[in-house]
Amino acid sequence: MVLEMNMGNCPACKELEHRISELETETRRLRKVEQDLYESQEMYRIHFTLANDVIYSIDPQFRVLSVSQGVKKMLGYAPDELIGRPFHELNVLAPEYLEKAFNDVRRVLSKENVASSIYQFITKDGKRRFGEVSGVPSVRNGRATAVISVARDITERLEMEQTLRASEERFRAVFDSAKDCIFIKDRDLTYTFANPCMRELFGLPLEEIIGKKDRDLFGEADGREISRVDARVLIGEIVEREHTKTVKGSQITFHVIKVPMMDSSGMVTGLCGIARNITERKRFEEALRDKEMQLHMQAKNLEEVNTALKVLLDYREEEKRNIQEDIVSRAERLIFPYMEKLEQGCINDGGRTYLAIIRSNLEELICGNKRVSRPLYRHLTPMEIQVSDLIRQGKTSKEIASMLNISMHAVSFHRLNIRKKLGLLHTKTNLGSYLKSAESV
């Protein structure tokens, strides 16, 4: 107790107590700093270990000081395969990028602000991948002692961008070369995109079409009608229709398809339309309908003409039958009675034969069965025709010779010529049977 009182009264003791108190406060502060540092290091370690990106550090001699586990996924290397080795000996960066990488490291070490860059890396199995790299200096005592960098694999992103660019280029090629008008409008029904066909249609630069509404291009009345249709598209409907509008003073018929355009959330942001000029097609269809109507009228007229012609032919046929019946009637009244009297009279056998031939031929003639000019006899002489007729009637060569007052030799000569002209010379065809069958055809 006496000691404590003495220490309390001693200036040196008071100073010691003050120093002890400060030391305890500093100790508590250092412990907190140590705890914060540990937590920060632990947080950094977790990020360093779990990050999908590759986090690495390089010293001023371009040696790799550290690499995160993400390098295994990106390049196929374990961190231990890279740490401690000079960067240029690792063969993880495409040779054409090495000089740029070294320059960027030097600039970062000089505390210069360096934008992120894209590099091409080489994987352990020799494939190439693209990475976007950014770095900051690690500063100690005011001096940059290393560069800490983050590399993010952007290979898939670049491939998607390249695919998208190729798709856009194809779309642009189709869009620009299309013979149809292709356009896009926003929700206010203002043109935001148009292809060159629109320029040709309206005779305006595309810059003057973009930003306009339909009333500016088609007039108030047509513009209102188009807007009413577009309003249906903006609520999700697909519209296909034909309409005729006045463009530059001319009536033009369009076949139009309009579809809503939506964002990733499904909200309608505008519409896209394709309009085809079908004016010429409509004119052709109209001309075709007119031609079909004309053909229909002509067919109807032909049908009426055919009906009249049939009536006329029927009348001609009836008249022909009447004439034939009149001829038969006249022959029966004016010719056959006298032939019968001749047959009953005193005539010789030759006369009777001639009379029978006359009767037979006359009956065939007036009955319409005998043709005036028969193709069968076209190349025969008059005498050969007479001989052929008698052969057809079944007369013998002797009877023919007697009736025609010629010799048997002459009959044989005519028979031979007839067979030759009818193509029967070297055949066994009976001439009489042939003539009868040919006459009945």
Q: What is the pLDDT of residues 141-188, one digit of tens each?
A: 889 899 999 999 999 999 999 999 998 888 888 878 788 899 999 999
Tell whether the model's pLDDT for residue 50 goes beyond 60: no
The 3-state DSSP class for residue 117 equals strand
CA end-to-end distance (rounded Å), the chain: 169
Residue from 199, 206, 167 nearest 181 by CA: 199
- Tell which wins on pLDDT, 243 or 51: 243
As a whole number of angstroms, the distance between CA 111 and CA 115 comes to 12
The residue written with tokens 């200096």 in the block is 137
As a whole number of angstroms, the distance between CA 106 and CA 346 comes to 155
- Tally of helices (H runs) and strands (E runs) in the chain: 16, 10
Looking at domain 371-440, its CATH class is mainly alpha
Nearby residues of 103 by Cβ (< 8 Å), 6 or more positions away = none
Q: For residue 45, what pLDDT band results from cuts at 50, 70 and 90?
A: low
Q: For residue 440, what pLDDT band results from cuts at 50, 70 and 90?
A: low
Residue from 157, 160, 198, 155 nearest 179 by CA: 198
Tell whether the model's pLDDT for residue 434 goes beyond 50: yes
Q: Please name the residue ranges forming H helices in 210-278.
A: 214-218, 220-233
pLDDT at position 279 is 85
- Fold for domain 56-159? Beta-Lactamase (3.30.450)
Residue-level length of the chain = 441
pLDDT at position 3 is 46
Tell me the pLDDT of the chain averaged across its residues: 83
Q: For residue 376, what pLDDT band results from cuts at 50, 70 and 90?
A: low
Looking at domain 181-277, its CATH class is alpha beta
Tell whether the model's pLDDT for residue 433 goes beyond 90: no
pLDDT in tens, 406-426: 899 988 998 898 889 888 888
